[in-house]
Structure 1
Amino acid sequence: MMEVDQSTFIPGRHKLSAGESLAPDHSAYGLLHQIGSTWPCLSIDVIKDNLGDNRKSYPATVYAVAGTQAERGKEKENQLMVMKLSSLSRMEKEGEESSSDEDSDDEDENTDPILETKAIPLTSTTNRIRAHQIPDTGSSTTFATTLTASMLENGQVLIHDITPHLTSFDTPGTTITPQQNKPISTIRTHKQNEGYALDWSPLWPDGKLVTGDCRGNIFVTSRNSGGGWVTDTTPFTGHSGSIEELQWSPNEKHVFASGSSDGTVKIWDTRSKSRKSAVSIKVSNTDVNVLSWSHLTPYLLASGHDDGTWSVHDLRQWKPTTTSSTPQPSPVASFSFHKEQITALEWHPTDDSIVLVAAGDNTLTLWDLAVEIDDEESKDTGGVRDVPPQLLFVHYMEQVKEGHWHRQIPGVVVATGGSGFGVFKTISV
């Protein structure tokens, strides 16, 4: 009989002994699925569908898009993966009967998950992929027009219209033509400079894209009156290192933030003729890998760093700086729980006290910033030392790279890593 150690294990703090392996505590999950893929993906994004908002029935269905990382020498096997994950059953609760009045409308909840894909051939690894949906104007199609922007290892940024790929999942007999697999635009202004930073503005319905590369150049691409795509060839410059992350403001359509390997976060206004940042703040002594701008409280910006720390900043405290000796504002919250680089960071879509964080220690953690603890309470943390009281949940996932909240299924997280794709929901969120 296999021996089970029920003690708390914290990746990055504790080490497995020979012959030991980790197993999740199923009682802590409402939903938990791991789905493999031929090649791992560095980046993933969740697609909004028309199955309804705030849905809680099971099995669940998720649409997503990801870009592969084929091994060296097999770059021609790379692809943009348009995905439908279905039959995502909920976790069975101990002692629960197989059916109840509350869940009588649910289908069989014990089915195996199903991954359906539509592949768009690529010849390079996708470093970052993001989706943007143009508001539906009354079309009868399953999905609003859905665009993806893929930043490739070869320096190109490809824009695809994946609407027919998504629609084909639910329309039997539909075939995708070679023409529909081709990008509707290819951005070459980065030349052969690799990059990882890319974001669609939520405030430009037809699409506005900002992209940054390892040479420190940032370009903005917009839709013209004829429906084509035009990139302003004059870059925004000022970082002394590579551009690691870009995030558009959720409430100011001309403003975006950048994070760089130089340890700074800069705020930019696209109307600036000088192409220089309006604000520049040193937030880390290591690379700023990721940023997340709260959509509920737009003056809150979170940053994740290469040393495993992450912070929350109040942008109302940030002022234009003129010299390097100008005092830098302190973050309103800062955490050093992770011991490896932060690779993903995202505010909860409907609760700006909840934050998702992924790190190089094979964990994806959930945090509740609303938690406060006094000195007496801090003496007792359930027998686990050095665990901040704001830490809500630790999910183990091998080589996790990126995670996102599903905006239509409350509490569900969709993630990608070296072991494939993960979909989970905790009972605490």
Structure 2
Amino acid sequence: MSKRGAEELNGAPLKAGQRPENGTSNGDNLDFEDDYEDEFESEDEVMEAGVDGRPDAEREAEAARDAMDVDIKEQTFIPGRSILQPGQTLSPDPSTYEMLHVMSTPWPCLSFDIVRDNLGDNRKRYPRTLYAVAGTQAESARSRENELMILKLSSLSKMDRPNETDSESDDDDDDASDPILESKSITLQSTTNRIRCFQPTQPSADPSQIPMTLTAVSLENSQIQIHNVTPYLRLLSTPGFTLPPDASKPIATLRMHKTEGYALDWAPASSFPAGRLLSGDCAGQIFSSQGTEAGTFSADSKPYLGHTDAVEEIQWSPSEKNVFASASSDGSVKVWDVRSKSRKPAVDVKISDTDVNVMSWSHKTAHLLATGADDGQWGVWDLRQWKPQQGSNSNKQLTPSAVASFNFHKKPITSIEWHPNDDSAVAVTSADNTATLWDLSVEIDDEEYGKEAGLGLGEGAEKVPPQLLFIHHVEDGKEIHWHPQMPGTLMVTGGSGFGVFKTISI
């Protein structure tokens, strides 16, 4: 993000279908001009006068003033450190994006999930298409307007770059068009706290169609509803398709929770092809729900107990089908084995003095777990250090050290996710109105990581971690996900709507 004087901006925020314009001049009508022509007759006189005829101190003072003017007009904005002055506003730097699109919905959608499609993996061509599901958060007085939204975003084009060579755009279609947002909706009776989608492993009867897709929605009224949204996805992708009469009816409504919750995760389909769902609530309870071949779901009556406060996040292990982890407002992360009859955690780790809001288990390196907390810190943990102690102290709460820890954000971490194919790349969103991208493979160079790491914020400014690659502005950012089929592409949601972007750095 860059911070500019208001006179440099047109004052209009980005709308759906708009892209930031690259304001680079083509250089026409520019001439080199010598302000001191003929003032000195020889090079010796010029050198004696200090290049432009003025004392060194005077020239250095003017250079400092000029540098300050440039900083005021346009400079990097660092959340929690930079301050917007009167007349300044934030503007994205288009030179740092390969793709950037923003869009809004009737009500904020503070949780969403990306749907895998049939358009192929490792897609790099433009324009691009993606599918997603999201749940709305309507105002309390209008709660009946809440919806489960099925989204199709198409014609997502690469940003215009006048200086790009033909070879750099070979993979792109010539005729870029405005982005298109299409949606279908299912009425919900309450606000969506969290939504996650699941695709069983059974092959589709028609390989050209999007695979069967189920959604689980954790509602503010404490219910969990499961829908089959496959017909809606086919309606968006197949001309002439019509919805069956009962398409909007949930295939299951689970009522085992007594309070609302935010933690929700499907087990990998390879482990439980019919679907197995874990859900946590604000009372600290975790329930398991099992799908059947007939397409029905039933919830266990006995919860997993161990947390003393709200369960904020649940994640199944990517490598062990009977293991999951949970994060809680009690500041702990616990690891569980569903085969245990006691339904108590196998490992109990205290990692923060504040709420642990979010968590992500690396699918590339299964012993790495990333967490984010209410104090703005996020860290990476090596689960090989979390082995339970033997003997009478086997249930003792552990306090290991993080492999890496960052306190760059000064407000709560609201979402965190590992790159699906790179165990060094992590995406983070925070209540400080930013989404940040990190590269953990970057090593600190003590010589380079000096005062200049403060990015011109003044003497004594807190250094910016060299692992920080990118800052993207998102108002009241809540959730971010990497697209598993388009390398480096991210989707993020917040109070002002959705953003889909890809940076030039990843």
How far is the alpha carbon of 1:42 from its aligned partner? 1.2
How many angstroms apart in 2 are the aligned matches of 1:424 and 1:24? 12
Alignment check: 8 A CA contact 2:377 2:406 kept: yes
Question: Larger Cα Rg: Structure 1 or Structure 2?
Answer: 2
Q: 1:421 maps to what in 2? A: 498
Q: 1:408 maps to what in 2? A: 485
Q: 1:8 maps to what in 2? A: 76
Q: 1:387 maps to what in 2? A: 464
Q: 2:426 maps to what in 1? A: 355
Pair 1:134-2:205 in alignment: no
Q: 2:51 maps to what in 1? A: none
How many angstroms apart in 1 are the aligned matches of 2:345 and 2:133? 32
How far is the alpha carbon of 1:101 from its aligned partner? 8.3
User: Relative to structure 1, is the Cα distance of residues 266 and 112 closer, same or farther in structure 2, using a 3 angstrom cutoff?
Assistant: same
Alignment check: 8 A CA contact 2:202 2:273 kept: no
Alignment check: 8 A CA contact 2:110 2:193 kept: yes
Q: 2:102 maps to what in 1? A: 34
Pair 1:154-2:159 in alignment: no
Q: Is the deviation greater in 306-315 or in 221-230? A: 221-230
How many angstroms apart in 1 are the aligned matches of 2:404 and 2:320? 24
| Counterpart residue identity of residue 8, structure 2 | E
SS in 2 for 1:247: strand
Pair 1:341-2:415 in alignment: no
How many angstroms apart in 1 are the aligned matches of 2:362 and 2:157? 30
How far is the alpha carbon of 1:95 from its aligned partner? 2.1
SS in 1 for 2:133: strand
Q: 2:439 maps to what in 1? A: 368
Alignment check: 8 A CA contact 1:155 1:194 kept: yes
How many angstroms apart in 1 are the aligned matches of 2:129 and 2:397? 51
| Counterpart residue identity of residue 412, structure 2 | Q
| Counterpart residue identity of residue 148, structure 1 | T
How many angstroms apart in 2 are the aligned matches of 1:177 and 1:420? 30
How many angstroms apart in 2 are the aligned matches of 1:229 and 1:104? 44
User: Higher strand share goes to which structure?
Assistant: 1
Q: 2:337 maps to what in 1? A: 269
Write out per-residue CA displacement over residues 17-52 of structure 1, whole angstroms, 9 at most, x where no aligned residue: 223211000000000000111100110110100111
| Counterpart residue identity of residue 28, structure 1 | T
How many angstroms apart in 2 are the aligned matches of 1:326 and 1:108? 59
| Counterpart residue identity of residue 152, structure 2 | K
What are the within-5 Å matches in structure 2 for residues 21-420 of structure 1?
A: 21-96=89-164, 102-103=169-170, 106-109=173-176, 111-140=177-206, 142-191=209-258, 193-202=259-268, 203-320=271-388, 322=393, 328-379=399-450, 380-381=452-453, 382-383=455-456, 385-420=462-497
Identity of aligned residues (%): 57
How far is the alpha carbon of 1:240 from its aligned partner? 0.5
How far is the alpha carbon of 1:378 from its aligned partner? 1.1
Alignment check: 8 A CA contact 2:112 2:135 kept: yes
User: Higher helix share goes to which structure?
Assistant: 2
Unaligned ranges ≥5, structure 2:
1-5, 10-72
Aligned-residue CA RMSD in angstroms?
A: 1.8
Q: How high is the TM-score relative to the length of structure 1?
A: 0.95
Q: Which has the higher contact order (CA 8 A, sep 6+)?
A: 1
User: Relative to structure 1, is the Cα distance of residues 336 and 54 closer, same or farther in structure 2, using a 3 angstrom cutoff?
Assistant: same
SS in 2 for 1:52: coil
How many angstroms apart in 2 are the aligned matches of 1:378 and 1:44? 37
Q: Is the deviation greater in 220-229 or in 234-243? A: 220-229
How many angstroms apart in 2 are the aligned matches of 1:104 and 1:295? 29
How many angstroms apart in 1 are the aligned matches of 2:304 and 2:128? 42
Give the count of matched residue pairs.
426
How many angstroms apart in 2 are the aligned matches of 1:406 and 1:327? 34
How many angstroms apart in 2 are the aligned matches of 1:168 and 1:226? 24
How far is the alpha carbon of 1:105 from its aligned partner? 5.5
Unaligned ranges ≥5, structure 1:
none
How many angstroms apart in 1 are the aligned matches of 2:405 and 2:75? 28
How far is the alpha carbon of 1:100 from its aligned partner? 6.0
Write out per-residue CA displacement over residues 377-411 of structure 1, whole angstroms, 9 at most, x where no aligned residue: 21142545420011011001111110100011110
Write out per-residue CA displacement over residues 69-112 of structure 1, whole angstroms, 9 at most, x where no aligned residue: 00111000000000000111111124237x66853761522x22
User: Relative to structure 1, is the Cα distance of residues 138 and 329 closer, same or farther in structure 2, using a 3 angstrom cutoff?
Assistant: same
User: Relative to structure 1, is the Cα distance of residues 189 and 344 closer, same or farther in structure 2, using a 3 angstrom cutoff?
Assistant: same
How far is the alpha carbon of 1:313 from its aligned partner? 0.4
How many angstroms apart in 2 are the aligned matches of 1:107 and 1:182? 43
| Counterpart residue identity of residue 352, structure 2 | S
| Counterpart residue identity of residue 222, structure 2 | G
Alignment check: 8 A CA contact 1:59 1:108 kept: no
Alignment check: 8 A CA contact 1:59 1:107 kept: no
How far is the alpha carbon of 1:250 from its aligned partner? 0.3
How many angstroms apart in 2 are the aligned matches of 1:327 and 1:238? 14
Runs of 4+ in 1 over 4 A off after TM superposition: 99-102, 323-327
Alignment check: 8 A CA contact 2:204 2:211 kept: no
Alignment check: 8 A CA contact 2:370 2:381 kept: yes
